A and B are shown apart, each in its own frame.
Chain A
């Protein structure tokens, strides 16, 4: 029901207009002055006033006909609404909320009823209540408002609407209020009669002047442009004298509070009536409207009649001039003037009584509450306002939500962009890193290729060098062996078969290419007897059986010979062909013994042996006790102290563990030699030799005299023959070969082994092995 569709609204409007017209017609037809409804505004079918706060007591006619207001009220116009509204006491109440036709009060609205001063509801409750209400659009509200207003301010179907006071009007009214206060002060001085209504008509105009002035000054402020329009209209057509402005002015003059709504409808009615009793003069003087109004609108109202007012007083004119608006000057009827306080009091009392009565009637009439379909109902208004507020709130919330959404979306977009940017940056970094890696790899590859090329070139050069060396060796072999001799390929006889390694084309120096000539002055071929002797020795099965005795008297067993010739078959777990200290020491002892013998050395207290061999145990003692550990050794050898300087060669077989090398000191030549078939570091042994010499010689040792020789040994090409190289290098040095590598090399070792075995079995260099 709350929703009123436009057609219905139109129909309602038409209906209201029709009723209004009918009412007006009836009013006009009623000649009875008592029932003239000028003092009360004509009840409109809608029953709504533009402002609910307006009170009927403020209407101008209510002042003039105050004393019979009750009768007038009783005999108000009969309309369907007024009939309905007629209360218990027969008083027609202008109830606040006249029902809209066809309205239905729903139970949902009823709860507003007990609160005439407004719903004592919390916002939450109000919201809940409002939520229960059906939806009413803004259009509906606007339509209702427009409908009511048009209803109220319509004079007739032909006439124009008169609208409620505009904001400018309100301002004027405010100004008027202030000026009225001043006027009231003036009246208190006694310039105005106390009771103007009882004052004689014959009051001199002069006396009246001031009062007139004061009231005029009050009145003029309330004269609005709309009134002026009316006045002008009245000038043109005097028959339609505009009592409206005058009435209004008077109203303003006498009432303490000028209401916003000046009850135009009322005025309208009055003006129509007053047109029938034209007792007003409108004069124009100095282009200022000076209106003389006889407020005795009806002939029967004698009390307020014949108030002929002339504006002859210049003061009034001047005051009118001074006023902000050029308007009519109204001179009120002295008879009607009451003391403002009294009037105010009366009006207030009446107003209060009326309101009380209205409220009572209203409550009786609408026990469940006021009509909720009156758009002027303050509850309804509040509800609409609340709805509008809610809608506004919703709208704002919606806008805010949209803004928030937009903001979030924007933030998300920014965040997304940032992430994308970051990802792009990371990608770029990764790509750069990959590129760098690739470049690095390429560079490394290039480098490796270059390195490979370089190595190949080096190998090629080495090969060429190897060939060159081979030629050299060949030539030197020729020199050593002598011209006309033929290089022979080593033919291995006996049980020992040396491993034959294929020549390596890369190094170009396979050991089988090394030139070696048997019987080169060092290594001799064995005759059949010696071969037989070796074979016989090796035929012993017990490794403890003594096969030979060295020059030192040490017994050499089958086990020792196994290390020399056929190692692996004899004692499992031992290194094949690794010589032990017995063999090495026996060998050097044999060499020295033979050479000393050749040199004619006979052991004696003062004899000095030219060749001396230290036991290979010297190194351990040296390391344990230092050079002084060997101090007693030299005495036994016969080379104590400076005597050693006369020795030819002193052999120091070196075995630091797992490897045989040879340190040779030649005191006569003042040289120190170190021969290593693996070409290890010489320096530690040179230092040891010097320490030993220093210990032995003492002050006779002059470091600068001693030279460290870079005597080269041939390279061993396996991991077994270092002992043989040591022994053979020693023999070569002992025999005076300055370059042992020329006569002892890897090819010669198998022969050397057999020769060594033969020598040891022989008990030293004797017989066939003459050095």
Chain B
């Protein structure tokens, strides 16, 4: 409770200021998936949902937000995401010759 209580007063002032929920578009340039998430929700949820939906392994895809790698532990707030932002999904790249 204390955690939740301490957490919520920290977040709550921000939420009304911006908006509680964000609409995030996730696209790999072939498919577009829109997610409505909270600002504090870890993006891991979103990534897993996308991978599950597209039938892809989480290790084989990279999520980028404005060219920055999105880690599973990130949330929209930490990445300073706005409503309607887009997450790009890229495949693993390898090269040898």
Contact = CB atoms under 8 A, between A and B. Distances in A.
A635 B93 contact: no
A748 B32 CA distance: 44
Contacts of A635: 66
Nearest to B29: A624
Contacts of B66: 632-633, 635-636
A650 to B, nearest CB: 12
* Residue among B29, B59, B95 facing the most chain A CB atoms (10 A cut-off): B95
Contacts of B88: 617, 621
B96 interface: yes
Contacts of A579: 94-96
Contact of A632 (B67, B69, B93, B95): B67
A722 interface: yes
Contacts of A630: 67
Interface string B20-52: 000000000100000000000000000000000
A224 interface: no
Given A581-B94, A655-B93, A720-B97, A554 B71 contact: yes
B94 A658 contact: yes
Contact of A581 (B71, B73, B92, B97): B92
Contact of A615 (B67, B92, B96): B67
B97 to A, nearest CB: 4
B97 A658 contact: yes
Contacts of A678: 97
Contacts of B73: 553
B56 interface: no
A349 B95 CA distance: 145
B6 interface: no
A233 interface: no
Interface string A575-617: 1011111101100000000000000000000000000001111
A579 B92 CA distance: 10
Contacts of B97: 658-659, 678, 716, 718-720, 722
Interface size range on A against B = 35 or more
Given A544-B59, A633-B66, 7 more contacts: A554-B71, A616-B93, A636-B68, A657-B95, A659-B95, A716-B97, A722-B97
B94 to A, nearest CB: 5
A614 B95 contact: no
Given A544-B59, A617-B88, A578 B67 contact: no
A552 B96 CA distance: 24
Interface residues of B, number: 18
Nearest to B90: A617
B64 A615 contact: yes
Given A557-B59, A617-B90, A655 B95 contact: yes
Contacts of B69: 552-554, 585, 615
A722 B97 CA distance: 5
A722 B95 contact: yes
A630 B69 CA distance: 14
Interface of B: 29, 59, 62, 64, 66-69, 71, 73, 88, 90, 92-97
B92 to A, nearest CB: 6
Interface in A246-273: none
B90 A553 contact: no
A554 B47 CA distance: 14
A520 B96 CA distance: 25
A637 B96 CA distance: 28
A734 B81 CA distance: 32
A750 interface: no
A636 B74 CA distance: 15
A332 interface: no
* Residue among B66, B67, B90, B92 facing the most chain A CB atoms (10 A cut-off): B67
A624 B32 CA distance: 14
B30 to A, nearest CB: 10
B33 to A, nearest CB: 17
A727 B95 CA distance: 12
9 contacts: A544-B59, A577-B96, A615-B64, A624-B29, A632-B67, A633-B67, A636-B66, A720-B97, A722-B96
Nearest to B80: A636
Interface in A550-577: 552-555, 557, 559, 563, 574-575, 577
A660 B94 CA distance: 8
Contact of B59 (A559, A578, A620, A718): A559
Contacts of A657: 93, 95
Nearest to A726: B95
A554 B94 CA distance: 17
B94 A578 contact: yes
Contacts of B62: 581-582, 615, 617
A674 to B, nearest CB: 15
A367 to B, nearest CB: 130
Contacts of A633: 66-68
Contacts of A721: 96
A618 B67 contact: yes
* Residue among A580, A585, A617, A635 facing the most chain B CB atoms (10 A cut-off): A617
